[in-house]
């Protein structure tokens, strides 16, 4: 098959589709082949669809799709079971919560007060000491020039 003839066919099919004379690309290509009237183009237009390779491929493809669908269905079922189990647990926890009243909140407050008694004693810190401003003169700490 000649490459130049194929190019002409492609251009002609594009023009046919562009001007609305053909609905699809394959229909445009078929009309272009009829216009050119060449036997080699009919082989391109009408490929051998009854070959065993395509049917084997289709069968393998369908088998793969069925396997994938089964796996997806199994995963969805497992997720549904997990969700149902979680909902049952939530309902059970809600029922337990309603049945057993919570203890009063005043008890923890009293415990907090007893655990941390306030100390009124004031210890002198060894580094800070009990110094007052009168104890340390500013002119002894800082140098102001001649004296």
pTM above 0.75, yes or no: no
Token readout for 7 is 């190019």
% residues pLDDT > 90 (the chain): 22
- pLDDT at position 49: 45
5 contacts 39 by C-beta, under 8 angstroms: no
Token readout for 142 is 């800082």
Residue with the two structure tokens 């589709």: 17
DSSP H/E element including 13: helix 3-18
Q: Which segments in the chain show pLDDT lower than 50?
A: 49
- pLDDT at position 28: 82
Report the half-sphere exposure of 74 (CA within 13 A, side-chain side). Answer: 6
40-79: string of b/e by CB count within 10 Å (b at 16+)?
A: ebeeeeeeeeeeeeeeeeeeeeeeeeeeeeeeeeeeeeee
């Amino acid at each position: 098959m000649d490459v130049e003839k194929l190019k002409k066919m492609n251009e002609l099919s594009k023009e046919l589709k562009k001007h609305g004379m053909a609905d699809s690309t394959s229909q445009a290509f078929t009309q272009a082949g009829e216009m050119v009237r060449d036997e080699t183009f009919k082989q391109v237009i009408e490929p051998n669809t009854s070959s065993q390779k395509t049917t084997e491929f289709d069968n393998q493809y369908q088998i793969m799709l069925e396997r994938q669908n089964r796996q997806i269905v199994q995963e969805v079922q497992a997720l549904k079971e997990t969700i149902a189990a979680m909902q049952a647990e939530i309902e059970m926890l809600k029922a337990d919560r309603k049945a057993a009243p919570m203890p009063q909140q005043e008890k923890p407050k009293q415990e907090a007060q007893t655990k941390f008694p306030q100390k009124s004693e004031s210890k002198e810190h060894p580094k800070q000491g009990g110094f007052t401003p009168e104890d340390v003169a500013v002119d002894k700490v800082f140098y102001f020039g001649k004296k």
